[in-house]
Chain A
């Protein structure tokens, strides 16, 4: 049933959707996954993007919305250790998988070597893109502890930074790699 809008302020308060189609859409699923090392369970429409489940349902707001179309990297998280955009990734598709977000970077409260290195290099201005960049950097260092400048750049190409701290970020990732190599020896 359509309703015509009239002039002036008018509120349309929740009109419950009765159609069968809508009922399917509203159907929530019980979805479990591993989040920053802990098991979590959410009741959510399986097609909701992971980003909104993280931010809105689980209160982890460090993963950010940037574009909703997997073009800017602000929403990057690790799924099974690989960087994945969360803004269009259906939450149903991560059931049973291990997710890591910026909130899980620093482990037991102490900053991660990446966070220390970003501070040392003062690699940041507004900070909006940093959580996503840190997650991709982490994935890179987990497979390559001696990345060259161009390898870091390529790994971070999915991320837009408009303040222009790119070179500081690259230096910080190299510095973190050095610290992590030293810690390993």
Chain B
């Protein structure tokens, strides 16, 4: 396969030497700007590189997210790591191999087709052995542009790709090592930062005497207007200082949150920017349509809720700043930290170190910026910042609440026509740098705090934020999407795994089931009749087969199966989920079946692990999660306020992968969240006879739905 469409990563980092080099005999340095956030991406990258270079996996030194030496690939998000980062590596490694093969053939006077590379060693028909990448390396200049014209391997000849290579980081993690939180260099200063409880809040009072009295141990205070940091040699001292300061601080002014913020009617009443997109069909086809059917769906604000609060380390010595961070955006972070601290970008290095799982825009960048800010003040020592659990809930980016109204009419043939999706939502992406805003929390507490630029959401052309997966995949006669973007919400609403797709798929697939019911057609048959893409049909049919959808006459009353299906971002992986559940006082998950088609699979067990994780997290969003507000701020502070699924809540999960090796490899981390949500909503509706159109589907919202009947 040759590929003239260079991945965006290659356009930004055009030189082969930015990706691959052979400085150390026996070792290949492979660079990646995409980073490990728990998803196992580095193991997949090793496989891709080893495959195309024909070296052993253990010969590769993967350098990821180090701004001084790794390529700049922006942010690790949106399930682009395999499709963009992996595609770039595949092309670069294939081209590197081709250059070395040509050089080897040229100096040995043999035919290129006869050259074999194994474990990095070259030969031709058993001759000229002794040469390898490292002996040839002085003869092959890699500071040349990637053309993208090299032939990559045929999937049928893969030896490393397609195997379930164990994760390379797991043994270390099982020994309690390998995370940024574990770094504690000699002489390290521990710091904690007091955060503004709402935007532009002014610190009116902080009683220092009482603060010091409340803390056993000496600490320093660094303050700039509304920024307050506590610094000490021992960690627990600053933990106590922050705890005391949170209750002593008196805040005035700023933009306190409305008590009903984020509720369904509140969303509709806000200032909004409307975009209308007609995506399919013609007026003519709609003639003879019946009455319009309409349903309103609602989801609250959510949070990513990583188990480990964010951590950042920084050191400023001899005019150079080094920042260690579990950021998803090493280079954007470097640039913003340098610019905001008035340092030359070339003197700042961000080094990625894995942290707790990232499931969306978290506070990693905030903690890194705070560590940098303090390190530059202190000059010399390593500064380590860890966020408190309370601030991880109250001051972190939130996933935006959404109201989704769906309208459709059934045509004479029982198919929906004239379908309209109408969405009200704040934006779903405000990472560092987006809209020209730093979006680094503490920056807005400083005397140099800037005004915030107006915000936009990720446009539909870039897979959308609130509008992600808002266009049904089905063959409708006509479809219209109306997006009401709410630009003035004083919250840092940003990415959470699958962005708007989780709830759009919940709403659309729930509505499809309702329409199937009205048409008197089984939900599986109804969908199959409206799908023309054979890959889409295949996953729906397969999940029905796996769950014995048509054969479950044994289900007791109060139990049901439900189906949800989507193709993530309309262009990535296909995923269908069937959930079996039981309704008692609450929803009890019994069994989940999932079928996905992610094209070429790099690591089958890695794909399964990501799908399982997406299913469990998506089920947790759907059944439990909601951010609460009170007294002008986020009121959710602890796990008791934000229950996520625990071990006993998790059902057996069966996964089947339909692998089509000739289709491009795409990521799977985000594909299951929408389908699992919809499958739960549909199963509850079938078990209860009532649609719960307000998430989460907990006891309160079930009762509300029943009583609103």
Contacts and interface: CB of A to CB of B under 8 A. Distances in A.
Given A61-B181, A62-B177, A168-B609, A127 B170 contact: yes
Q: DSSP majority for the A interface?
A: loop
A74 B307 contact: yes
B40 interface: yes
Contact of A125 (B179, B305, B609, B639): B609
Given A11-B222, A67-B638, A127 B307 contact: no
B389 to A, nearest CB: 4
B203 interface: yes
Contacts of A25: 216
Interface in A115-146: 115, 118-119, 122, 124-131, 134
B359 A26 contact: no
B167 A124 contact: yes
Contact of B235 (A55, A101, A111, A167): A55
B613 A125 contact: yes
B207 A164 contact: no
B412 interface: no
A182 interface: no
Contacts of B40: 125
Given A11-B220, A122-B605, A162 B174 contact: no
Interface in B216-272: 216-225, 234-236, 239
Contacts of A111: 171, 174
A62 B208 contact: no
Nearest to A14: B218
A56 B175 contact: no
Contacts of A21: 213
B182 A62 contact: yes
Given A122-B167, A122-B605, A56 B216 contact: no
A177 interface: no
B614 interface: yes
A162 B359 contact: yes
A82 interface: no
A105 B174 CA distance: 10
Interface string A45-85: 10111001001110101111111110110100000000000
Interface string B183-209: 010000010000000000001001111
Contacts of B615: 164
A3 B210 CA distance: 11
Contacts of B218: 14-17
A22 B213 contact: yes
Interface in B347-393: 354-359, 377, 386, 388-389
Contact of B219 (A10, A14, A106, A115): A14
Nearest to B388: A68
A19 B173 contact: no
Contact of A115 (B175, B356, B644, B648): B175
A162 B357 contact: yes
Contacts of A52: 234-236, 239
Interface string B163-174: 010110111111
A178 interface: no
Contacts of B647: 152-154, 156-157, 159, 161, 166, 169-170
B216 A7 contact: no
Q: Give the size range of A's interface with the partner.
A: 35 or more
B650 interface: yes
Contacts of B386: 65
Contacts of A166: 616, 647, 650
B640 interface: yes
Interface string B15-50: 000000000000000000000011110000000000
Contact of A128 (B206, B224, B356): B356
A119 B174 contact: yes
A160 interface: yes
A162 B38 CA distance: 10
Contact of B216 (A12, A22, A102, A118): A22
Contact of A5 (B184, B206, B304, B639): B206
Interface in B291-313: 304-309
Interface string B636-655: 00111000101110101100
Given A56-B235, A127-B179, A160-B307, A17 B650 contact: no
B414 interface: no
Interface string A147-185: 000101110110111111111111000000000000000
A122 B176 contact: no
B456 interface: no
A68 B639 contact: no
Interface residues of B, number: 78
B2 interface: no
A160 B206 contact: no
Contacts of A127: 38, 169-170, 172-174, 178-179, 354
A134 B61 CA distance: 29
A1 to B, nearest CB: 6
Interface in B641-687: 644, 646-648, 650, 652-653
B307 A72 contact: yes
A111 B609 CA distance: 23
B650 A118 contact: no
B39 A125 contact: yes
Contact of A61 (B169, B176, B236, B388): B176
A14 B178 CA distance: 33
Contact of B644 (A8, A14, A119, A162): A162
A103 B184 CA distance: 16
A15 B234 contact: no
B309 A65 contact: yes
Contacts of B389: 66-69
Name the residue in A49, A52, A66, A126 with the highest tally of chain B Cβ atoms < 10 Å from its Cβ: A126
Contacts of A57: 234
A64 B617 CA distance: 22
Interface in B574-618: 605, 609, 612-617
Contacts of B359: 162
B508 to A, nearest CB: 24
Name the residue in A7, A69, A127, A161 with the highest tally of chain B Cβ atoms < 10 Å from its Cβ: A127
Contacts of A8: 224-225, 447
Given A8-B447, A71-B639, A122-B609, A2 B181 contact: no
Interface string B450-469: 00000000000000000000
Nearest to A160: B307
A126 B356 contact: yes
Contacts of A71: 638-640
B220 A13 contact: yes
Contacts of A134: 174
Contacts of A157: 646-648
A165 B609 contact: yes
A5 B203 contact: yes
Interface string B393-411: 0000000000000000000
Given A115-B175, A128-B356, A164 B212 contact: no
Contact of B170 (A55, A119, A150, A169): A119
A141 B363 CA distance: 37
A146 to B, nearest CB: 18
Nearest to B652: A167
A115 B184 contact: no
10 contacts: A22-B213, A65-B309, A103-B176, A125-B609, A127-B179, A128-B306, A156-B647, A162-B357, A162-B644, A170-B647
The 4 closest A-B pairs by CB, nearest first: A62-B176, A127-B173, A126-B38, A164-B616
Given A66-B308, A163-B38, A170-B647, 7 more contacts: A7-B447, A127-B170, A127-B354, A157-B647, A159-B647, A161-B647, A167-B612
Interface of B: 37-40, 164, 166-167, 169-179, 181-182, 184, 190, 203, 206-209, 212-213, 216-225, 234-236, 239, 304-309, 354-359, 377, 386, 388-389, 447, 605, 609, 612-617, 638-640, 644, 646-648, 650, 652-653
